[in-house]
Amino acid sequence: MNHWSSWWTLKKILKNIPNSPGIYKFSDESREIIYIWKSVNLFSRVNSYFNGKSKLNFAKQEMVWKICDIDLIVTNNETEALMLEATLIKKHQPKYNILLKDGKDHTYIKITNEAIPRVFKTRIKTKSWYYFWPYLSTQYVNNLLKIAKKVFWYRSCKLIFGYEKDELTLKNRNIKIPCIDYYIWRCSAPCLLEKEAIDKYHEDIQDIKNFLKGDYKDILKDLELKMRESAAKLDFEKAQSLKLDIESIQTLSSNQIIRDGVDGDCDVLNYIEKYDKTYLWKIEIIESKINWFYAYEIENKLWEDLNEIFIQYIYRNYSEYIGAKKKKQLIISDKLDIWNIDFVKVEYSKIWTKSDLIKLCYKNLYEYAYKKHLASLSTKNFTKQNMKNLLTTLWYTYWDKEIVFECNDISHISGNHTVASRSVIENGKLNKSKYRKLRIKTLEDQKIDDFWSMREVMERRCRELKELKNYPDLLIIDGWKWQLSAVCEIIKKHELESDIQIVSLAKKEEELFLPGLSEPITLKKDSSELRMVQKIRDEAHRFAITFNRDSRIKAMKKNILEWIDGIWPKTRKKIIKHYGNVSNLKWVEKKELQKLLPSNVVEALDDHGLL
């Protein structure tokens, strides 16, 4: 493949990478995988190799020059990505991967079977004692043990305990007891050989086992109860400490379906019907670990039943098991109804771990289908004639001149940073120089109202068009007829009904609604006219989401002190220098603050709930 042609292919891929955790794989021109890695945000990480902002060393620059294709696997969280990353690296041994190619054993958490058990990490697994999971990241294990130590108070000493005449005793008495951990609330001190302390220690060890097995609901309930009791006693310092423990456990206890989903070997199958096609995703599991992902695009030209499609797929791909002693195990979506196939054992996703695998399939299917859809749109060349055909179908007029279509879209996150976008197609081609992005100014923060937002966008656009007298041939609204009615009210208010031709595109069935008509207009699913409308809608959606994300990132970078009037840069620096961060101000008395800061600044901090 010519390097420059592959670069244009990569540019299309880079634009449509999701902001999700997962795995990315780089391949060279011979389709050989040269690099595999994980990321919390696939879009940011993969694009960082190509945007020139990251300082890549010579070896990585050489690798980037060889990249001709990028494949993605979306996961639920970073830990799943980490587990899958190790499996794929060990299988493919990519040229540029180093860290996980050494073949070392994974790190385990070990709980000894001593009279007073110890908890620590190890790479060596024997038949005796308790071992929990193969963890791939030593740093992850260190963080986990650090939090477990804080919450469950296990011992870190090397004291040797034993029994003499059925009584617990210490073997090495030359060590001073209790150690510092007891005084900083990190150990219940079973070394004192007090029954209450020993019982408390065994309870903590059982809680650690339950936590590492994933049974953490009772632990969280107990910690929440203790937190409320501490708050009721006005012991806010302890309540805050317990709150942080709860948050830490919730973070660490995210389900890792790649690690403990199913026993043995099986395949997981799921499907999605999208963009007038059926897509199938298969997860191959070998020895309880995800080994590989497979994606299929099915052209169902005969409109056969989905059950029939799956049955044909099973006969075509698992015929080697016909007559075999052991049946092939399959986990499929419970939306399907497949029976009476002798050589496979079909299980439906009713158990939560298997259901999560089906959900993982669906998540990847959606991304795969969207990627294929965008690829088909990008290779499809629209023409001015397609635009004329659409206007004719909608009973709209046009002049034999430049034909322009516009589409508007709204984007927000739970009502925050509400923004709008405008995309433009001119004579069959996207005209990105006429794309626009707008901030919604009249909507209260954290209020969700797409109708109000679209009204504001159209209000501003109508005023602009009345001045310019340069009306688009068609205005496309992303939404149902209710959104269309809201926009028509604004157009009528500005007396532009005869100048602006408008249509709305409903996502679910991809139907077109016109003002005054109760029934929608349905275009052929494979028609260029429908694909063109979808293209401009998707472009407006992409542009709005990008602007929304950029707005959120910019806002997050701002310090909360920057939003308070009267607190200037020097004052902000003084506060951060003395107290570390804003949250620490809650623990400082006003009298102490007034010695450092002007009274009006202290009052402003108090008014904003920072004291």
User: Cα 102 to the chain's mean position, in Å?
Assistant: 29
Give me the pLDDT at residue 4, please. 43
- Rounded-to-5 percentages of helix, strand, coil across the chain: 45, 20, 35
Q: Is 111 helix (H, G, I), strand (E, B) or coil?
A: strand
Work out the average pLDDT over 54-79.
Answer: 80
At 599, list the tokens.
């009274």
The answer to whether 261-376 and 384-555 have equal CATH topology is yes
Q: Calculate the average pLDDT of the chain.
A: 79
**108 has a pLDDT exceeding 60:** yes
Query: For residue 274, what are the CA distances in angstroms to 218, 270, 365, 382?
Result: 41, 13, 10, 21
The pLDDT confidence band at residue 508, using thresholds 50, 70 and 90, is low
- Give the pLDDT of residue 180: 81
Phi, psi of 602 (to 5 degrees): -60, -45
- Domain spanning 384-555: which CATH class is it, in words? alpha beta
**Residues 364, 281: contact at Cβ < 8 Å?**
yes
Residue 143 pLDDT > 90, yes or no? Answer: no
Give how far the C-alpha of residue 519 lies from the chain's centroid of Cα atoms, to the nearest Å: 38
**Mean pLDDT in residue range 166-179:** 77
pLDDT given at position 2: 45
For the segment 576-599, the average pLDDT, to the nearest whole number, is: 80
CA atoms of 240 and 228, how far apart (whole Å): 10
Which pTM was predicted? 0.40
State the burial class of residue 265 (Cβ atoms within 10 Å of its Cβ: 0-12, 13-18, 19+).
Answer: middle
Find the helix or strand (DSSP H, E) in which 484 lies: helix 481-493
Phi, psi of 429 (to 5 degrees): -125, 145
Give the helix/strand (H/E) hosting 240.
helix 236-252
> Does residue 405 have a pLDDT over 90?
yes
**pLDDT higher than 90, residue 429:** no
Structure tokens at 343: 């050589």
Pairing, β 130-135 against β 107-111: antiparallel
- Position 538 pLDDT exceeds 90: no
Other C-beta atoms lying within 10 Å of the C-beta of residue 125: 12
Residue 259: per-residue pLDDT:
47
Share of the chain above pLDDT 90, in %: 5
Would you call 141 helix, strand, or coil by DSSP? helix
User: What would the CATH number be for the domain defined by 261-376?
Assistant: 3.30.420
Check residues 558 and 463 and name the one with the higher pLDDT: 463
What average pLDDT score do residues 321-348 get?
78
Fold of 3-92: GIY-YIG endonuclease (3.40.1440)
Beta bridge partners of 429: 426
pLDDT at 99 over 50: no
pLDDT tens digits for 488-503? 999 999 888 888 899 9
Q: Find, among 213, 339, 357, 371, the residue nearest to 283 by Cα.
A: 357
Which helix H or strand E contains 274, and what residues bound it?
Answer: strand 266-274
Region 507-535: mean pLDDT is 84
Token pair 């006693």: residue: 233
More confident residue, 268 or 507: 268
Give the CA dihedral 364, 214, 141, 127, nearest 10 degrees.
Answer: -110
Average pLDDT rounded to a whole number, residues 568-592: 79
Domain boundaries, the chain: 3-92, 115-216, 261-376, 384-555, 560-607
Residue 457 has pLDDT above 60, yes or no: yes
As given in the structure block, the two tokens for residue 225 are: 């109860």
List the structure tokens of 81.
């990505």
Q: Check residue 105 and give its pLDDT.
A: 47
Most confident of 140-149, 179-188, 533-542: 533-542
| Coil/strand/helix, residue 158 | coil
Is the C-alpha dihedral spanning 300, 303, 307, 311 positive or negative?
A: negative
Residue-level pLDDT at 435: 93
What's the CA gap between 474 and 505, in Å, rounded? Answer: 12
- With 60 as the cut, is the pLDDT of residue 53 above it? no
Per-residue pLDDT at 101: 36
Distance, in Å, from the CA atom of 166 to the CA atom of 179, rounded to the nearest integer, reads 25
Q: How far apart are CA 264 and CA 282, in angstroms?
A: 16
Going by their DSSP bridges, the two strands 22-27 and 33-39 should be labelled as antiparallel
Cα radius of gyration rounded to whole Å, the chain: 31
Top-confidence residue, 118 or 210: 118
Residue 255 confidence (pLDDT) above 60: no
- Are the beta carbons of 431 and 424 closer than 8 angstroms? yes
Question: What DSSP character marks residue 560?
Answer: G
Please tell me which residue, 554 or 72, carries the higher pLDDT value.
Answer: 72
pLDDT at 368: 78
Structural contact between residues 493 and 514, judged by C-beta atoms closer than 8 angstroms = no
What's the confidence (pLDDT) of residue 288? 67
Residue 214 has pLDDT above 80, yes or no: no
Residue-level pLDDT at 100 = 37
Q: For the residues 335-360, what does the mean pLDDT come to?
A: 73
pLDDT of residue 139: 65
At 74, list the tokens.
């979306």
More confident residue, 317 or 75: 75
Q: Compute the residue count for the chain.
A: 611
Q: Which amino acid type is present at position 365?
A: L
